[in-house]
């Protein structure tokens, strides 16, 4: 059912649709767990992609990233994005990108199953990593759960954004401002947008940030992207991979959730 909230059309899902999205989310979860088990020094990001795609196709689901279009770029060629160390998002899997001891690897994966999409991301340590690096991963995951806790009535999307930003800043890191969480359902990217920060006062209007009230049946992907250094990004010449300009480490966690009358339901895990 489409609800128009603050001028934005949002597809609110029925409980049957939310169940269908959970099915899709569980396929994504299984793909992630298979990749997690395979992450180790010496494995290539192409191998992780193959593992995820196999899980997805074995379920009769479709990788939603593969062939994903982007203006002025080639379509995305793989089923996951695999971003190493200072790569934040959208890294292209390759047989030449081999994980090393002490790296971190951000893996984002989505699939369509019975017409509905699940979308989630994790950052894993490769072998043993420094305690400061582990802390970055823990804070990023913590920001995700803090944001999910804020996804309750009568909050608005802005409250979810601010919960993320406040948590990250309190722990001494920055959020990526250019990439946002989003509605998800029949498509990977639906309304509303759920940024990881929120500009204050009139700036929000100037930047076209629109906060919408949360409603039961709203399904959104919440995805904090956290940077240990300065929050300045650039895109590599492959037209996809996004990296931090100062080459500082960054991490990315994501779950697809459903807003309810009570606690949110996390759809991309059991
Ligand atoms: Mg994602
Ligand atoms: Mg997403």
pLDDT score for 201: 85
pTM metric for this prediction:
0.97
Residues with CB under 5 A from ligand 1 (ion): 108, 119, 121, 254
pLDDT score for 194: 98
- Which has the closest alpha carbon to 41: 104, 85, 97, 101? 101
Whole-angstrom distance between the N-terminal and C-terminal Cα of the chain? 26
Is 1 a member of any domain? no
Is 80 a member of any domain? yes
Q: Closest-lying ligand to the alpha carbon of 252? A: 1
131 C-alpha to ligand 1 centroid (Å): 26
Q: Is 83:90 a contact under the CB 8 Å cutoff? A: yes
Q: Closest-lying ligand to the alpha carbon of 89? A: 1
Is 93 a member of any domain? yes
Is 209 a member of any domain? yes
pLDDT score for 245: 98
Tell me how many domains the chain contains.
Answer: 1
Is 268 a member of any domain? no
**Which domain covers residue 248, as residue numbers?**
9-261
Q: Which positions of the chain have pLDDT values less than 50? A: none
| CATH number of residue 212's parent domain | 3.90.230.10
pLDDT score for 45: 98
156 C-alpha to ligand 2 centroid (Å): 19
Residues in CB range of 193: below 8 A, 6 or more apart: 157, 180, 181, 182, 183, 210
Q: How many CB atoms lie within 10 A of CB 235?
A: 13
Is 81 a member of any domain? yes
Is 2 a member of any domain? no
Is 172 a member of any domain? yes
Q: Closest-lying ligand to the alpha carbon of 253? A: 1
Q: How many CB atoms lie within 10 A of CB 175?
A: 22
């Amino acid at each position: 059912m489409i609800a128009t909230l603050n001028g934005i059309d949002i597809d609110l899902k029925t409980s049957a649709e939310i169940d269908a999205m959970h099915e899709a989310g569980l396929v994504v979860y299984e793909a992630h767990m298979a990749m997690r088990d395979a992450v180790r020094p010496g494995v290539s990001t192409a191998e992780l992609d193959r593992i995820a795609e196999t899980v997805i196709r074995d379920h009769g689901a479709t990788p939603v990233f593969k062939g994903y279009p982007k203006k002025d770029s080639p379509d995305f060629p793989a089923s996951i994005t695999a971003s190493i160390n200072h790569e934040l998002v959208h890294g292209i899997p390759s047989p030449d990108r081999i994980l090393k001891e002490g790296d971190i690897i951000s893996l984002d994966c989505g699939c369509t199953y019975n017409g509905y999409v699940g979308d989630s991301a994790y950052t894993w340590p490769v072998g043993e990593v420094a305690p400061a690096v582990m802390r970055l991963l823990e804070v990023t995951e913590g920001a995700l759960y803090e944001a999910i806790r804020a996804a309750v009535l009568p909050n608005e999307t802005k409250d979810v954004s601010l919960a993320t930003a406040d948590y990250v800043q309190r722990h001494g890191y920055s959020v990526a401002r250019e990439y946002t969480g989003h509605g998800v359902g029949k498509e990977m990217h639906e309304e509303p947008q759920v940024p990881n920060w929120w500009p204050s006062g009139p700036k929000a209007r100037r930047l076209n940030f629109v906060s919408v009230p949360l409603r039961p049946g709203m399904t959104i992907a919440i995805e904090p992207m956290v940077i240990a250094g300065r929050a300045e990004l650039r895109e590599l010449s492959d037209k996809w991979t996004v990296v931090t300009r100062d080459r500082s480490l960054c991490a990315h966690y994501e779950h697809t959730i459903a807003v309810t009358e009570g606690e949110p339901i996390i759809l991309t895990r059991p």
